[in-house]
Amino acid sequence: MAASAPRQTLTIRTPDDWHVHLRDGALLQAVVGHTAAQFARAIVMPNLKPPITTVAQASAYRERIRQALERSAGTEAASGFTPLMTAYLTETIAPDELERGFAAGVFTAAKLYPAGATTNSDAGVRDLAHITPVLTCMERIGMPLLIHGEVTDPAVDIFDREAVFIERHLKPLLERHPALKVVLEHITTAEAVQFVEAGPSNLGATITPHHLHINRNALFQGGLRPDMYCLPVAKRELHRLALRKAATSGNPKFFLGTDSAPHLRHAKESSCGCAGIYNAPYALESYAQVFSEENAIDQLEAFASLNGPRFYGLPLNQGSVTLERRDPDPEAPGLPAILELANGTAEPSRLVPFHAGEQLDWHITARNR
Ligand code: DOR
Ligand code: ZN
């Protein structure tokens, strides 16, 4: 980093987060304001306990999100943020339920978790053949399928699980359902980048800020680092570089999805720590840092605000966000190492955010709704 970087401002159309975990109850109330402060819309993951599998559950969850946001950030914040709900695919979910929810504007998409792949995925899909009628229905009605793309086969090395999923499951799935809109979520490998680039226009991918910043060394830097653990796990440096190239390329198939996945500090710092990185507080600043490091800040708007809505077939946001790049200040304290967030209970939610203790060069200075 140069000692004195020039001041620079950037105004972009208000972005959306195409993949976020907002949780429920006290944790929802603690975290939802961070996402709503930066994004106009967010695709909300359905991996609650129990998972969101019905239209009624999704409507009720959407209302809890609205209420939590109103309580934590006020009515204006709540009216300026639209949670886009997803259905959690199980082997018994009925195509009719999805079709009804999609037609009613309650479900925007459906999420496929291979059973056992990640947090609260036990109710997910063991065998893709069992949900063929569901996928056929989604293909017919134009409902996007969002995929956690990792095999769960314990014989496959954890760092290879995404690449093997593409070969074993994603390729055949796209051959069986050529018109299905598919988002390969939170991609982490050069193989995924190449596969998406080479695929049809109905195949896209989200990329998280953390996979653009860290490689797998971060998990073990000076000791075991639970705050750097997420799924899919960060890979080698060559993969991080491929992701940075894809995200900043302007290719409309790649768009912003933070996969912000809060777990309370004690659940991360445990003998069996949970997977998930809480990046919502500084997500856009984190992406901006990457784009400017890649000399591609002019591509941030496409990635953050244009490619996602175009893929989903939704209107672009009308508002704007302004970011400013400032000289790094060696005296400045850096971002907080831990957040203590009010949540409507006596005990605050303690979360360690991504970039804890670091300084980021970019700052949000204005937002017009
Ligand atoms: O790191 C992750 N955390 N990856 C996921 O796929 C799920 C998420 C969560 O819900 O905690
Ligand atoms: Zn996720």
Does 15-318 carry CATH code 3.10.129.10? no
In the chain, which residues have pLDDT < 70? 1-6
Distance from first CA to last CA of the chain, Å, rounded? 33
β-sheet bridge partners, residue 322: 11, 366
- pLDDT computed for residue 12 by the predictor: 98
Place of tokens 């995925």: 121
> Domain residues of the chain, as ranges?
15-318
Q: What is the distance in A from the centroid of ligand 2 to the CA of 19?
A: 6
What is the C-alpha to C-alpha distance for residues 199 and 111, in angstroms, rounded to an integer? 20
Place of tokens 């941030």: 300
Please state the pTM of the whole predicted model. Answer: 0.97
- pLDDT computed for residue 330 by the predictor: 83
Ligand 1 atom with least separation from CA of 275: 1
- pLDDT computed for residue 165 by the predictor: 98
Ligand 1 atom with least separation from CA of 263: 11
User: Which of 20, 31, 47, 49 gets mutated to test ligand 1 (max ligand atoms within 8 A of its CB)?
Assistant: 47
Nearest residue to 149 via CA among 123, 175, 168, 122? 168
Ligand 1 atom with least separation from CA of 230: 1
Q: What is the distance in A from the centroid of ligand 1 to the CA of 328?
A: 32
- pLDDT computed for residue 23 by the predictor: 98
Q: Give pLDDT tens digits for 252-284.
A: 999 999 999 999 999 999 999 999 999 999 999
Q: Please confirm, yes or no, whether 127 is among the known catalytic residues.
A: no
